[in-house]
Amino acid sequence: MKKTTQNIHILGACGTFMGGVAVLASRAGHNVSGSDQHTYPPMSTLLRDEGIDLREGYDPAHLQPHPDLVIIGNALSRGNPAVEYVLDQGLEYTSGPRWLGENYLRGKTVIAVTGTHGKTTTSSMLAWILEDAGRAPGFLIGGVPGNFGLSARDGEEVFVVEADEYDTAFFDKRAKFVHYRPQIAVLNNLEFDHADIYDDLAAIKTQFHHLIRTIPGKGVIVSNGADQNLESVLERGCWSQLEHFHLDGEGGWSVKLLRPDGSELEFSRDGEVLGTLGWEMSGRHNAMNACAAIAAAAAAGVDPAAAIESLSQFKGVKRRLEMIHDANDVKVYDDFAHHPTAIRLTLEGLRRKHSSARLLVALEPRSNTMKAGVHIDELGPALAPADRAWLFASEGINWDPHEALAPLEGRGRVVTRASELLSQMLDTVQPGDRVVFMSNGGFEAVPTRFCEGLANL
């Protein structure tokens, strides 16, 4: 049957996920336009290069003449003028995840990568393994993999999707990932997050249970065997083939650190060594990400030895401990980590890799969960590997940042202005230091401004 071409308008088109949906809809042959409050590069450039008509703001006039379908991003809510117009006019609308699952992913081998941490990196590893194996995968990832240079690509046979547990839309409060119906699913880890959406850990576990219910019996679940929260979810019911991955485990898939910093790894399955890997990545968390990606690729038909070799050419992900400056023996990294566990694992990995260097860290608590103070007791210990740590306490934080940094015993500083942060860090930095900026937002361009400041020292 010939597919019907639709005129589709996307509200919130410049977000990473929705921008990816826009690209995939365009590649599927639809006429796509979009609106967003802030249309700026690189996403605006990508969409316009794709031929997508992109408009600034949420003026109802953007929806005239009426499109066949409006796809509404989860950042929009009631009261938004475009949303109100859609409802008042009775326009056909849906969510990005639902459109993706029902229209684009149907008929493909879908590999969904879930978890509180590591989704973007594991998805990027998996996409590269499949690409290097000649499978030409499609993907939709919440970051920019270095091996591809873009966050979304169409594909006919197999598709890797970063499967977020955040809610779908203002009219659908289920997790995004329940719409994808994967044949292969990676369960990386599970902790409490998204306090603005979920009341407690039990509520998130229920969403993961709903995902597991959608995976066919002949499908494969690749789950972190050391994560008790995931194990408790699986105990509620598992109807698919279950495989576990471990760090230094004896059964299932396992990864062993041959160097403490995680730059050399050995992989095995049921005690049989599959191969070794030397790469540019570091940290126990990335070792586990790699093990999960290799196991998932094997479920899709890729030889594990070939997958290990592919990862030797893995180029990382933009803003996942991305080095943005290396001069005069000072290395500067930009990192997306915003949950205490991810912060701790990232810094521990960097500490092991640069054991003799001073580690300077600046953190912007920007997520709704962090701003609400849910993880205040975990924040100081997470920053413990740092020799100096700055917490950028911008508007919206309703807890005492000094109290959060108390476990650092004087190694932590609280600043409220970007200029103050830059001044203090530039006064502190010296040759041999490793500097990390951590935020899931723009951080008022502080990382870039810091690098510029280094050039003038």
Q: Which amino acid is present at 345? A: L
- Give the domains, in start order, of the chain with CATH numbers: 7-94 (3.40.50.720), 105-311 (3.40.1190.10), 322-455 (3.90.190.20)
Cβ atoms of residues 18 and 71 within 8 Å: yes
Check residue 350 and give its pLDDT: 85
For residue 332, give Cα distances in angstroms to 279, 318, 392: 19, 14, 17
pTM: 0.83
Check residue 375 and give its pLDDT: 67
Check residue 430 and give its pLDDT: 93
Q: Which amino acid is present at 92? A: E
Rounded CA separation 393/421 (Å) = 10
Check residue 344 and give its pLDDT: 86
For CA atoms 363, 367, 370, 373, the dihedral sign is positive
Cβ atoms of residues 85 and 63 within 8 Å: yes
Check residue 405 and give its pLDDT: 86
Cβ atoms of residues 62 and 33 within 8 Å: yes
Cβ atoms of residues 246 and 225 within 8 Å: yes
Check residue 250 and give its pLDDT: 76
Cβ atoms of residues 41 and 66 within 8 Å: no
The 3-state secondary structure of the chain, one letter per residue: CCCCCCEEEEECCCCHHHHHHHHHHHHCCCEEEEEECCCCCCHHHHHHHCCCEEEECCCHHHHCCCCCEEEECCCCCCCCHHHHHHHHHCCCEEEHHHHHHHHHCCCCEEEEEECCCCHHHHHHHHHHHHHHCCCCCEEECCCCECCCCCCEECCCCEEEEECCCCEEECCEEEEHHHHCCCCEEEECCCCCCCCCCCCCHHHHHHHHHHHHHCCCCCCEEEEECCCHHHHHHHCCCCCCEEEEEEECCCCCEEEEECCCCCCEEEEEECCEEEEEEECCCCCHHHHHHHHHHHHHHHHCCCCHHHHHHHHCCCCCECCCCEEEEEECCEEEEEECCCCHHHHHHHHHHHHHHCCCCCEEEEECCCCHHHHCCCCHHHHHHHCCCCCEEEEECCCCCCCCHHHHCHHHCCCEEEECCHHHHHHHHHHHCCCCCEEEEECCCCHHHHHHHHHHHHHCC
Q: Which amino acid is present at 307? A: A
What's the burial of 5, exposed, middle or buried (CB within 10 Å: 0-12/13-18/19+)?
exposed
Check residue 1 and give its pLDDT: 37
* 246 phi, psi to nearest 5 deg: -140, 165
Beta bridge partners of 390: 362, 413
Check residue 374 and give its pLDDT: 67
Rounded CA separation 387/10 (Å) = 45
* 313 phi, psi to nearest 5 deg: -105, 10
* 430 phi, psi to nearest 5 deg: -150, 160
Mean pLDDT, consecutive 10-residue segments, the chain of 457 residues? 81 91 94 88 82 94 97 95 98 97 94 92 97 96 88 93 93 94 96 75 94 97 96 97 92 93 94 94 90 98 98 88 87 83 85 89 79 74 90 80 85 90 93 90 86 84
- The strand pair at 167-169 and 172-175 is best described as antiparallel
